[in-house]
Amino acid sequence: MNFRIILTLLLITVMLAACSPAAQTPTQAALPNPGSVSQDDNSQAVPSASDTQVAKESLIAVVAPTPTTQFIYPSLETQEITADTLKNLAEIKMLGDGRYRDVAASADGKWLAVASSLGVRLHSAVTLDESGFIRSSAPIARVVFSPNGSLLAVGGEDGMLRLHPLSEGKPIEGDVREIRAGYFPLLAVGFSPDGSQVAAGSLDRTINVWNTISGERTRSVSGFTLGISTLAFNADGSLLAGASVDGQTRVWRVRTGEVLGISGESDKKRLSASAYPIQLAFSVDGNLLLMLADGTLQKWDWQAKERRPQLLYTSAGGAAGAVFNSDGSQLIIADQVGTLLSVDTKSVMPVRQFNTGENILAVAPLPDGRSVALAVYPSTLLLADMETGTVSGAFARLPQGGKLVAGTFSPDGAWLATSHADGLVRIWDTQNYLQYLILQPQEQGVIRSLQFSPDGSRLYCGGSDIRGYDTTDLADVLRDASLTNSGPVTITPSPVLIIPSAGTVGSLGISPDGSLIAATWQLNNTARFYRLPGGEALASLTLWPDPAEIAVFSTDDGTLAVGAADHNVYTWSLQNLLGYSGEPTSGPAEDLLIRNEFPVLGLAFSPDGNQLAITGSYPQGRVVKTINGGLIYRLKGAKEQITAVTFAPATDLIASGDVNGRIRLYTANGEDPAFTLTGHAGAVNWLIFSPDGSQLVSGGEDGTFRIWGIPLTGTP
């Protein structure tokens, strides 16, 4: 027997002995209990100090992707694809931590809660170790601890208010109270001082109050013309203050719902878009303190029926986030340039300030009077010491970079390249997704399209222009990083090819023989293609009045399909495209496929090139014959726009993703999905199968990408 085969079998035996069964991903109808603690691959303990990286002159405990042994799967090519087969498809890896939205500290200063696009993460406020995770099917907008720390109020972007019981910073499974508080994001949530009531306000312009034990609604107040931005109870819980993005603030008596005071004029058109309160607090003397988004601190004597608040202080940098401490004696402001500012609300004088150099999203003071927790874009938790002006601790997961924009496998499946909203490209070793490189393209902005050349020797990135990078040394750099356990390695290679800008790249397609690259440009009605490897311009294809959205080549004979906002798909053969030479010219399409019901935003060829899947700004997709555009079947099941579509290699299996984060799998000629995958909170921006068909990778608006695979025979 060949030595390589023997070695491979031995490796499989060792890995199987170590692997644990992959949990089946629940469908929409079987979501996990929101109070349960997730045990996903990224929810690991913070590494010791020796394992941390130095970032921005602060010691940041970086939780890297953990190794897994569940990566040996039969290829989709080796088994019949049926609905029963697809039921074994499971999420085997999630990388990234979503995007943070809010942070809160418990009154005793022991625990922190961080709201994100994936759910709520609970941490020790001392060590920043993670104590628990509350998974959510919708992004979380606000988190608030009850005064005694036994409950966590979680306001979702789906309008649901959930009260999670806690014990020692961990969610207690089971008794989670779910309250339908509206159908819009809950941007304002707060407990009464005794914890017996909880209030929530959203874009529906109403604040509702519920009993925290019975869940019964006890009061509803309104009167604003736009959504609620913040709310606060007074010291004895008898009064409730609320503010709106229309700039108006009101005070009510909770027991009767009587309006006791109104401040500000309603600005329905938001002509002063930053002149609205983002934080409220009753002062010790009963006045109401207002922190506005423009950095203005005001005091309103509502008891004297004063309609116009008194200006106390203005933060020069505006206010990205602000919060009063528990007794209202200090206001912590995080401005829009990363400066932390502590203001004494009695003397209205700055007490301390320092610049963190971070993009701060939310801030929460701790009761020791000097420490504050910061949620930093996109998903880093920091502890800052206001006394010393230093960051004393941090917690982050890798990769960081905001939403996922594009992804592509190398031809041999050894690498996965992903681009993120931070403008960086990350190149992953797909053996276990533990090690990766950070490619820092120069002057390209956000990379909206990624493509490897057919031989894998180049990686093409489409941003403000098109650049090709030599991949020859990538394997060596990855290997060296793995051997030294150095963590992510940042590289800034010089491009071997630059194709000048015609705007911002929308998509790239490379012919199967590697001789051509086709590009569409955002808000541009022209598709252009260039000869490789030199990048010479061959032709500009302009036949439609609306923007060209996407260009893809089939893998069989190199048919080029271009989808446009005019509802049409245009095709050319590779042979004729190569006939263009010299100055760019407008070339005629060989075929205009049947007109669609929607602007075309997504295209994917079947492995044999005979079928073309078409999606766009419409809940249904179409699968048509490439030769004449004749409809074969529709892709049904989505209720909102389909945002991504792809075929599995060597099969008729199709995967689609939508704006709600759901991934649907269709077998041959099946109009209804055979199986639905859930997990993403927000749109699925791209979907790709690995070249051998054993993995499906999805990149999301929520800042994560997920790897889905079919478990080995015999695993659940």
Write out pLDDT tens, residues 225-242: 999 999 999 999 999 999
Task: Give the β-pairing of 505-510 and 527-531.
Answer: unpaired
Report the C-alpha gap between 591 and 569 in whole angstroms.
9
300 backbone dihedrals φ, ψ, rounded to 5°: -120, 115
User: Could you tell me if residue 445 is left (phi over 0), alpha (psi between -120 and 50 degrees) or otherwise beta?
Assistant: left
Give me the torsion for CA of 469, 470, 475, 479, rounded to 10°: -70
Of 709 and 710, the one with more pLDDT: 709
Q: Which of 45-59, 297-311, 600-614, 626-640 has the highest mean pLDDT?
A: 600-614
For residue 614, what are the contacts with CB-CB under 8 A and spacing of at least 6?
Answer: 563, 569, 596, 600, 602, 603, 621, 622, 623, 624
Contact 342, 351 (CB under 8 A): yes
pLDDT category, 45, cuts 50, 70, 90?
Answer: very low
Q: Which of 70-74, 384-388, 460-464 has the highest mean pLDDT?
A: 460-464
What SS3 class is residue 16? helix
Q: How many Å is the maximal CA-CA distance in the chain?
A: 93
pLDDT category, 348, cuts 50, 70, 90?
Answer: confident
Name residue 276's amino acid. Y
Contact 597, 618 (CB under 8 A): yes
Report the C-alpha gap between 278 and 276 in whole angstroms.
7
Report the C-alpha gap between 463 and 449 in whole angstroms.
7
E strands along 117-270, which residues?
119-124, 130-135, 140-145, 151-156, 160-167, 170-171, 177-180, 186-191, 197-202, 207-211, 217-221, 228-233, 239-244, 249-253, 259-263
Q: How many CB atoms lie within 10 A of CB 339?
A: 19
Contact 656, 670 (CB under 8 A): no
Q: What is the DSSP string of 225-263?
A: SS-EEEEEE-TTSSEEEEEETTS-EEEEETTT--EEEEE
Residue spans of the domains in the chain: they are 180-397, 404-499
- Pick from 486, 466, 575: nearest CA to 528: 466
Give the mean pLDDT of the chain.
Answer: 82
Place of tokens 């340039």: 337
Summarize pLDDT for 613-663 with one digit per residue, the tens.
999 888 889 999 988 888 899 999 998 899 999 999 988 889 999 998 999
Per-residue pLDDT, 495: 94
**What is the average pLDDT across 156-164?**
93
Contact 148, 108 (CB under 8 A): no
Per-residue pLDDT, 547: 86
- Least confident range of 10-14, 323-327, 490-494: 10-14
- Least confident range of 91-105, 181-195, 586-600: 586-600
Per-residue pLDDT, 22: 31
Q: Which of 138-147, 315-324, 626-635 has the highest mean pLDDT?
A: 138-147
The H helix count followed by the E strand count for the chain is 4, 60
Report the C-alpha gap between 76 and 693 in whole angstroms.
5
Per-residue pLDDT, 565: 86
Q: How far apart are the first and last CA of the chain?
A: 32
Contact 132, 124 (CB under 8 A): no
58: β partners: 55
Per-residue pLDDT, 583: 55
pLDDT category, 590, cuts 50, 70, 90?
Answer: low
Per-residue pLDDT, 413: 93
Report the C-alpha gap between 377 and 389 in whole angstroms.
20
Domain 180-397 has CATH 2.40.50.140: no
Rg (CA), the chain: 27
Contact 144, 152 (CB under 8 A): yes
For residue 657, what are the contacts with CB-CB under 8 A and spacing of at least 6?
Answer: 642, 643, 644, 645, 663, 664, 680, 683, 684, 685, 686, 687, 698
Place of tokens 């005793």: 108
Summarize pLDDT for 241-285 with one digit per residue, the tens.
999 999 999 999 999 999 999 998 888 777 666 789 999 999 888
Report the C-alpha gap between 375 and 394 in whole angstroms.
10
pLDDT category, 350, cuts 50, 70, 90?
Answer: confident
pLDDT category, 47, cuts 50, 70, 90?
Answer: very low
Task: Say what the pTM is.
Answer: 0.75
pLDDT category, 5, cuts 50, 70, 90?
Answer: very low
Q: How many CB atoms lie within 10 A of CB 324?
A: 21
What is the Cβ-side half-sphere exposure of residue 270, based on CA atoms within 13 angstroms? 12
Report the C-alpha gap between 246 and 267 in whole angstroms.
5
Q: How many CB atoms lie within 10 A of CB 545?
A: 9
Per-residue pLDDT, 370: 86
Per-residue pLDDT, 588: 56
CA angle 694–699–701, rounded 5-degree value: 160
678 backbone dihedrals φ, ψ, rounded to 5°: -125, 160
Report the C-alpha gap between 24 and 629 in whole angstroms.
37
Per-residue pLDDT, 546: 81
Q: Which of 5-14, 18-27, 128-137 has the highest mean pLDDT?
A: 128-137
- Pick from 331, 333, 363, 365: nearest CA to 345: 331
Residue 466 has pLDDT above 90, yes or no: yes
pLDDT category, 587, cuts 50, 70, 90?
Answer: low
**What is the average pLDDT across 75-86?**
63
Of 407 and 565, the one with more pLDDT: 407
In our burial notation (b when 16+ CB lie closer than 10 A, e otherwise), range 637-675 reads bbeebbbbbbbbbbbbbbbbbbbbbbbbbbbeebeebbb
**What is the average pLDDT across 438-466?**
92
475 backbone dihedrals φ, ψ, rounded to 5°: -60, -40
What is the Cβ-side half-sphere exposure of residue 15, based on CA atoms within 13 angstroms? 16
3-state helix, strand, coil in the chain (%, to 5): 5, 45, 50
330 backbone dihedrals φ, ψ, rounded to 5°: -135, 150
Per-residue pLDDT, 271: 63
Q: Quick check: bond before 350 cis, omega within 30?
A: no
- Pick from 399, 359, 391, 458: nearest CA to 98: 399
